[in-house]
C-alpha cells in the first residue's frame, strides 16, 4: 500500500498567529511528506508493503535493522494524529465526558495540563508528549524522536510534536510558551474526546 499525505481539515493559515502558515507549509508539506516518501521507498517490494501503518510500526519497533522503516512509519502516524488534535480557535472547555475522565485520573484539569506541559518541556531533544489510555486510565508520557505510546500497548488520544520544526519559526527556543499556546488555543478537545471510546 502506498501511503499518501493526509489533507488538513483547515487551511495552512487558519491556525495563525498561534501556528503560522510558514510553519504549516514546511511541517505538513515538507517534513510530513518526507516521512511518507521515505516510508514508501523503504517498504516497496518487501513483506511490509501490504501491512497497515500500525502493523508496520509494531513489526519494526523492536528490530534495529528496521529502524529506518520504524522512524518514518511512526512519524507518519504521529503527525496524522497531531494534525487532527488541532483546530482554528481551539483550546477552551473540554466536552463533559473528557473533562470528567481527566478530573478522575489527574485530580483536576490544571494538574493534567501541568503534567502534559512538563512532559513536553523535559523531553530532551526531539520527541513528543502524549495523553494516552493505558489499561483504562489516562496517562501522560513523553517519547524521543519518532517513538510513540502504541509500541508500549497504549492508545494515544492527544500528541504534541516538540521537534523544533514544530515551533521554531513561531516561538524560537521558547518550547514552554509553544506548549501553553498548544493547550490553550490549538487543541481540538472534541476530537480528543471522540478517541476516548
With binding defined as CB under 5 A, does residue 163 bind Fe ion? yes
Distance (Å, whole) CA 63 – CA 69: 10
Residue (of 146, 120, 32) closest to 79 by Cα position: 32
Using CB under 5 A as the binding rule, whether residue 161 contacts Fe ion is answered as yes
Distance in Å, CB of 42 to Fe ion, minimum: 18
30: CB partners within 8 A, 6+ apart: none
Piece of 95-103, 155-163, 167-175, 179-187 that binds Fe ion (CB under 5 A): 155-163
Stretch that binds Fe ion, among 113-121, 127-135, 154-162, 184-192 (CB under 5 A): 154-162
DSSP 89-122: T--SPPPHHHHHHHHHHHSSHHHHHHHHHHHHHH
- Nearest residue to Fe ion on Cβ basis: 161
Minimum distance between the CB of residue 75 and Fe ion, rounded to whole angstroms?
A: 7
CB of 8 to Fe ion, least distance (A): 13
Q: Which residues bind Fe ion (CB under 5 A)?
A: 161, 163
Amino acid at each position: 500500500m502506498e501511503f499518501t499525505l493526509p489533507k488538513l481539515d483547515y487551511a495552512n493559515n487558519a491556525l495563525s498567529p498561534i501556528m503560522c502558515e510558514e510553519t504549516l507549509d514546511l511541517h505538513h508539506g515538507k517534513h510530513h511528506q518526507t516521512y511518507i516518501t521515505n516510508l514508501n521507498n523503504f517498504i516497496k517490494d518487501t513483506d511490509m508493503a501490504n501491512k497497515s501503518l500500525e502493523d508496520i510500526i509494531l513489526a519494526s519497533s523492536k528490530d534495529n535493522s528496521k529502524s529506518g522503516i520504524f522512524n518514518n512509519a511512526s512519524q507518519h502516524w504521529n503527525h496524522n494524529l497531531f494534525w487532527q488534535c488541532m483546530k482554528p480557535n481551539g483550546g477552551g472547555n473540554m466536552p463533559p465526558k473528557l473533562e470528567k475522565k481527566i478530573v478522575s485520573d489527574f485530580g483536576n484539569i490544571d494538574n493534567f495540563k501541568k503534567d502534559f506541559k512538563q512532559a513536553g518541556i523535559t523531553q530532551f531533544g526531539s520527541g513528543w508528549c502524549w495523553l494516552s489510555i493505558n489499561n483504562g486510565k489516562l496517562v501522560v508520557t513523553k517519547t524521543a524522536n519518532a517513538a510513540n505510546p502504541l509500541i508500549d500497548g497504549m492508545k494515544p488520544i492527544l500528541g504534541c510534536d516538540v521537534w523544533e520544526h514544530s515551533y521554531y519559526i513561531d516561538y524560537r527556543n521558547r518550547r514552554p510558551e509553544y506548549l501553553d499556546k498548544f493547550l490553550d488555543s490549538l487543541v481540538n478537545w472534541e476530537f480528543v474526546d471522540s478517541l476516548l471510546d
